[in-house]
């Protein structure tokens, strides 16, 4: 398990109105990029629902949530995915990367900002945007 920031975006410079589900799926569900931190040792022993993440823009707190914001715990999201794939003859394999969902939802950013996700003892992840 790695703490991470999922960056959303689209391939469109000017996002067209009226896009349907198929358009969004074709655009990789607006998953633009993924930035992850160091692996968390013995994460299985953690209560992920209680793990807190703080979102910061230029070291200023923007939001604060816990893993409970992800279907009660990120493990519920993972369980759903594994079961969904299994019913269709697909399987999650060792080494596969899976994002379980965001504890903190999408946050609009200014053109030039350092975005940090502070997961406390689990580590920090950041990305810097330039104008």
Q: How far apart are the first and last CA of the chain?
A: 32
Q: What is the pLDDT of residues 81-112, one digit of tens each?
A: 999 999 999 999 999 999 898 899 888 777 78
pLDDT of residue 77: 93
Q: Which token pair is 44?
A: 């299985």
Q: What is the pLDDT of residues 19-39, one digit of tens each?
A: 777 776 666 666 778 899 999
How many CB atoms within 10 Å of residue 53? 23
* Residue ranges per structural domain of the chain: 4-129
More confident residue, 16 or 36: 36
Say which residues have a Cβ less than 8 Å from residue 69's Cβ, sequence separation at least 6.
102, 103, 104
pLDDT of residue 32: 74
Q: What is the pLDDT of residues 34-77, one digit of tens each?
A: 899 999 999 999 999 999 999 999 999 999 999 999 999 999 99
Q: Identify the architecture of domain 4-129 in CATH.
A: Alpha-Beta Complex (3.90)
- Cross-sheet strand order for the sheet of 60-66: 60-66, 52-57, 113-118, 124-129
How many CB atoms within 10 Å of residue 50? 10
């Amino acid at each position: 398990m790695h703490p991470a920031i999922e960056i959303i975006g689209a391939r469109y410079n000017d996002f067209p109105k009226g896009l349907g589900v198929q358009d969004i799926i074709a655009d990789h569900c607006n998953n633009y990029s993924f930035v992850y931190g160091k692996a968390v040792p013995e994460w299985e022993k953690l209560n992920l629902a209680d793990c807190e993440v703080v979102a910061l823009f230029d070291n200023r707190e923007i939001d604060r949530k816990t893993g409970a914001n992800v279907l009660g715990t990120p493990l519920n999201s993972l369980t759903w995915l594994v079961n969904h794939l299994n019913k269709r003859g697909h399987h999650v394999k060792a080494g596969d990367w899976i994002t379980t969902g965001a504890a903190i939802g999408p946050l609009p950013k200014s053109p030039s900002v350092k975005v940090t996700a502070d997961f406390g003892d689990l580590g920090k992840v950041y990305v810097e945007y330039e104008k």
